[in-house]
Chains A and B, each alone.
Chain A
Amino acid sequence: MKSRYDVVVIGGGLLGGSLALGLARDDVDVLLLERDQINQHASGRNAGSLHFQLEYRMIERGIEAARRAAEAIPLHLEAARLWQELSASIGPSLGVSQHGGLMLATAVEDVRRLEAKAELEQSWGLDVKVLDSAQAHDLAPYLSDSVLAASFCPTEGKANARTSAPALCRAAVQAGATVLSRAGVTSIERHGSRWRVVAEHEGDAVVVETDAVVLAAGVWCSELAEMMGSYVPVEPVALTMSVTARTAPLTPYLIQHAGARLSLKQSVEGNVLIGGGWPAQVTTLPNGSIDLRGRGQLLADSVAGNAAAAMNAVPAVADLPVLRTWVGTTTLAPDQLPVVGPLPGAPGGFVATGGSAFTLGPVFAELLGELVQGRAPRLDLRSYAADRFSGTAGTTERAAQHA
């Protein structure tokens, strides 16, 4: 184990793995530190949707909010390309299939919303077309008769959330990265023109110096940013998911709804995964703060609402026994947009988290890879800069302390 690396990436999830891979392929000397097992947290606990159409949560509050959310479409276009490219270079262990995604409308106002959404998406260059009821049923005869229209995006699909991050970490190691799991970072301090990162690994302190530190640790980014004298206000959000028993092939598509919280897809093994953003309760510690390691509490209304949304879209789901319902946590910034870019007040520090982080993980990795190497990122990141929150008192205080 060396004592100096060009870049230290903290977080062994999808983003950390793809970033370490990208950097190693660029001959950058990179160390990835993961406090736990690889893929133990958000990257491994979501439903693995690759969704490029605007989600329900982005279109439910009217066209203006949708317009703002649509500014992220360039990230999604890049993600569609990168998932394909990664799958070709790494192989089936990513579990990527991009057979397309349908977003359904079952009420007249949903149809209108779908049409406005598609127009907006097309204006940003996303391949989306609106199918009428007959066309939608031709494509997917198992859809409910109540489906009046559906938008179809051919690049949408799914990846295997269980295997993607480990596969990327392994590819990173093969490309020359050093990956150290069971290494919890205990301090990150400025040391001359570099950062000194200290981690605890099997009872020993691992101390490395590096030019750049990238935070890819989801909800722990706040805590780590604070060690670096910076500020990233992200919080865990708990969501509900369910999975049914294995069944015969039912649908190759990712299915969403324009008027309800729903995502539905079938795994390779045949289980149907149902999610779509129904809330769950985060767990709190006795002092009232959020337990970042907690698994959250299910809310009965969410479980029932999610199941109803699934059965309304694909009636055959009603016959499948639900094996399990669980809470997956994700990380969101206060404005729900991604946070990608340099860490304010911490030269050589970078961060990416929030937003549709599973879908966008490979894009975040690509953009951070460019930034870390001093190149201009290929997409405009101003809307996602971490310093957009720097007007808050917390930041000023922290910045002053570390000035």
Chain B
Amino acid sequence: MDRHDISWTGYIPAITTPFDAAGALDLGALDAQLAWLVEQGMHGVILAGTTGEWFSMSEDERAALFQRGAETVAGEALVLGGCNAFTADEVIRHARAAEAAGLDGILVTPPPYVIPNRREILAFYSDVSAGTSLPICVYNWPRGCTVDLDVDLLEEIAGLDQVVAIKNSTGDMRSFLSGLYRLGDRVRYFGVPTSELGADLVTLGHGDGLMGSGGVLGADHPDFWRALAAGDRERALRLGQRDRVIMERWFNPDYGSTFGSAQAIMKTALRLQGVPAGYVRRPLLELTSDEVGLVESTLHDLGIETVALT
């Protein structure tokens, strides 16, 4: 498989997973959240990614999330499943659940915490590739995994059967561009910034989209790609600038959050817009009221009316 076997393009955010008051997976809220995302025109969603708090979910919960997500989105957008785990065997079990649910593909980081070496990383992806029939998006996320997949290593990984895409969340534009230019004709490349540079790249046919920001700005994000496709660069940049605002205020250059946790920020931003995104699950904590105020003021500055409680 390679980039030509899939049609992934545009804005495919890793979305938050709603947990209810008691901390249980809240599938009813998931329905409502997905409904809003689909109506806002998302090109796809990623379930149980880092933003989706995979690390605090059981295997059964992840499978239930995949199942319900696929049913609710019902083919109106791509649905990818985050399958991160410490071992390839476990990743493959999550991938089987994703296959059973009918998802379009999976997203996989190197095993977090482990700090595997290059040979181990390649073996890990090789095992995963052999264990699933779904297309794989390789997720380079140095902040969460402590390892950075350099372009030579990515090239080897991109040669594996099921690998079709790379998501770059290094925050390092040089690494992004070198990977894009070396591998972009073989795999789809995500992590395109919604800036002038990003617009230029997309216009020239380089780079396939973005998977960040949790979809919290609704139609703004996917419409950046639609506007570029329609040749309306000016509108695209206007929309793209809105994403830059949240990236600058809520996130550091390495994509760590500037306050609270990214998941709590995203859920707060959605709840403030009336989307029942639920609460974070421990070890993460809800934002403090001051931090809620920071999220709210950003939304207000972007002209988004807020409704949720302080």
Contacts and interface: CB of A to CB of B under 8 A. Distances in A.
B39 A246 contact: yes
B309 A269 contact: no
B11 to A, nearest CB: 15
Given A93-B305, A324-B38, 9 more contacts: A36-B21, A37-B279, A38-B308, A162-B273, A167-B307, A170-B309, A243-B35, A267-B39, A293-B28
Given A269-B40, A323-B76, A40 B308 contact: no
A179 interface: yes
A140 interface: no
Interface of B: 20-22, 26-29, 31-32, 35-36, 38-41, 72, 74, 76, 219, 271, 273-276, 278-279, 305-310
A163 B307 contact: yes
Contact of B308 (A35, A160, A170): A170
A interface bracket (residues with beta carbon within 8 Å of B): 35 or more
A246 to B, nearest CB: 6
Given A39-B274, A173-B310, A324 B279 contact: no
Interface string A60-77: 000000000000000000
A91 B274 contact: no
B39 A37 contact: no
Interface in A172-221: 173, 179, 181-184, 202
Nearest to B273: A163
B154 to A, nearest CB: 35
Contacts of B307: 93, 163, 166-167, 170
A92 B305 contact: yes
A261 B276 CA distance: 29
A36 B28 CA distance: 11
B288 to A, nearest CB: 15
B306 A93 contact: yes
A358 to B, nearest CB: 15
Interface of A: 35-41, 44-45, 91-93, 160, 162-163, 165-167, 169-170, 173, 179, 181-184, 202, 243, 245-246, 267, 269, 271, 293, 295, 323-324, 326
A389 to B, nearest CB: 29
Given A35-B21, A181-B21, A163 B29 contact: no
Given A35-B21, A37-B271, A326-B31, A44 B305 contact: no
Given A162-B274, A182-B279, A269 B219 contact: yes
Nearest to B74: A324
Contacts of B72: 324, 326
A91 B28 CA distance: 28
Nearest to B223: A246
Contact of B309 (A38, A162, A202): A38
Given A181-B309, A269-B39, A295-B31, A162 B21 contact: no
Contacts of B306: 93, 170
A36 B20 contact: yes
> 7 tightest A-B contacts by CB?
A182-B21, A163-B274, A166-B307, A167-B307, A162-B274, A93-B305, A166-B274
Contacts of B21: 35-37, 181-184, 202
A36 B20 CA distance: 6
B181 to A, nearest CB: 35
A45 B32 contact: yes
9 contacts: A37-B278, A37-B279, A93-B306, A169-B308, A170-B309, A182-B21, A182-B279, A183-B21, A267-B39
A39 B39 contact: no
A44 B36 CA distance: 12
Given A246-B39, A324-B35, A39 B28 contact: no
Contacts of A173: 309-310
B41 A44 contact: no
A162 B275 contact: yes
B309 A40 contact: no
Given A246-B41, A326-B31, A40 B76 contact: no
A44 B278 CA distance: 14
A202 B21 CA distance: 7
A179 B309 contact: yes
Contacts of B305: 91-93, 163
A166 B39 contact: no
A249 to B, nearest CB: 15
